[in-house]
Amino acid sequence: MAATFKFELVSPERVLMSSDAEQVVVPGVEGQFTVLPDHAPVISTLAPGVIQVTTPDAKKGIFVQSGFADVTGDSLTILAERAFIVDEVDPRQIQEELDAAQKALESADDDEARNHIGRAIEELKALHAEA
Amino acid sequence: MASLKDLRNRINSVKATRKITKAMQMVAAAKLRRAQEAAEAARPYAVRMDTVLANLARAVTDTNSASPLLVGTGKSDVHLLIMMTASRGLCGGFNTNIAKLVRVHARKLLSEGKQVKIIAVGRKGAENLRRDFGQHIIERIDMSGMKFVGFEKAAEIGDKVMAMFEAGEFDVATMFFSEFKSVISQQPTALQLIPAHIPETDGSEKSSLGDAVYEYEPEEDAILDYLLKRNISTQIFRGLLENAASEQGARMSAMDSATRNATEMIDALTITYNRQRQAQITKELIEIISGAEAL
């Protein structure tokens, strides 16, 4: 069995996931990075995208809109405001998210926000196509 | 002296009241448990946020270039008071206590010649302050009809506050809510949101990170900025949750004492009723006996 570290996904409302993981791919704002055990401490904000978690028994994809990751040697904590597990989500919910994002895009007033939402929409569309 | 029929009616009406207060107490107890669970579930996020924020804020040395969310605008002319209350009454001194704290605060600020703006979350607080500070209430946010407190609502309020801050509409923001200490004790609390109040972390938190130096992506300032904005919504969310739990706790104890008072009242009324009934029987007997003797 490969070495593991503690992975936690926390939303403001509750702890969404807490388990041991062998490897986690995180969509950082400056590019994706993979966290393995004993990773150097990093704090990074997240871009909209899918976090891929490899636990000893399963592989899971989790979609996040925004948030940040706190990596220490033996743990990875992701604080995300909106997140859902890709396999368990209802396609309708993705559609709803997509609609909300489109609306947000129209009312966004600076380039940075537009960029961020634009990426979220692309990711959501990709998910929708899969589902 | 009330007649027997009047007394009977009183007793029945107090009994009906007791049924209602008893039911409300039980409903509040069930809701309280849920509210407490929600507050508990939200804690890890807030704790994490505080830790990271404290670590980052400690590293800020140059106060001139730091975010105004952290160090303030350099003025304190216009104060924004965010008052959180319930949208229902019948919960003892809960709403009044929060409104009282806001009132004292606002009076003090006004006497110092500052400007005061109030955002009232929940209906009851706004009603309470309408007479004295009606013209200061710039916004009312209705929370009634919401079964539970969602983060979306907190984020909505947070965005509103942020937009106002960026437009320069106030310098200092303070949030008023009731801190949930225990079922029987809720403490009205004022918490400063802007400039951010950075919690002190003790040494033990730091040692868990070892002496490792964090790498930041993007650079520290940008992350700190991002986190400070998030922090507003998080704090508001925390306030709303604490408030929801406190409200149910306050209602539960208020209804508990109301139920007890009703029981006492029923006992007292029943004794009076029985005495009167006895007196009437005695009187009737005397009338019959003295009538028979007269013959």
Convert the pLDDT of each residue in B161-218 to its tens digit.
Answer: 989 998 888 999 999 999 888 888 889 999 888 888 766 554 444 434 444 577 887 8
A11 plus A68 within the same structural domain: yes
Q: Which residues of A touch B38 (CB under 8 A)?
A: 13
Q: Which residues of B touch A14 (CB under 8 A)?
A: 41-42
Asked if B58 reaches chain A (Cβ–Cβ under 8 Å), the answer is: no
Asked if B199 reaches chain A (Cβ–Cβ under 8 Å), the answer is: no
Q: Percent of chain B, pLDDT > 70?
A: 91
A17 plus A64 within the same structural domain: yes
- Among A86, A103, A120, the domain boundary falls at A86
A81 plus A93 within the same structural domain: no
Closest by alpha carbon to B207, among A72, A128, A42, A102? A72
- Among A86, A103, A118, the domain boundary falls at A86
Q: Cα dist. B119→A76, B128, B164, B168 in Å?
A: 38, 13, 11, 16
* Interface contact A72-B212, CB threshold 8 A: yes
Strand partners, A44: A69, B217
Q: What is the residue-averaged pLDDT of chain B? A: 86
Of the residues B56, B91, B143, B232, only one is catalytic, namely: B91
A51 plus A94 within the same structural domain: no
A94 plus A114 within the same structural domain: yes
A101 plus A62 within the same structural domain: no
Given pLDDT bands bounded at 50, 70 and 90, which one contains residue B62?
A: low
Provide the CATH number for the domain around residue A63. Answer: 2.60.15.10
The yes-or-no answer on residue B91 being catalytic is yes
A78 plus A121 within the same structural domain: no
A53 plus A111 within the same structural domain: no
Q: Which residues, numbered 115 to 134 in chain B, qualify as contacts with chain A under a Cβ-Cβ cut-off of 8 Å? A: none
- Among A50, A69, A86, the domain boundary falls at A86
Give the residue on B whose Cα is nearest the Cα of A10.
Answer: B45
CA distance B242 to chain A (A): 13
A79 plus A15 within the same structural domain: yes
Task: State which residues form the domain around A107.
Answer: 89-130
Q: Is the ipTM above a cut-off of 0.85?
A: no
Q: State the average pLDDT over residues A89-106.
A: 74
A100 plus A69 within the same structural domain: no
A78 plus A32 within the same structural domain: yes
Give the residue on B whose Cα is nearest the Cα of A28.
Answer: B217
Kindly give the interhelix angle for B220-294 and B151-166, rounded to the nearest 10 degrees: 120
In chain A, how many domains are there?
Answer: 2
Whole-number pLDDT of residue B269: 95
Whole-number pLDDT of residue A75: 87
Q: State the average pLDDT over residues B21-50.
A: 90
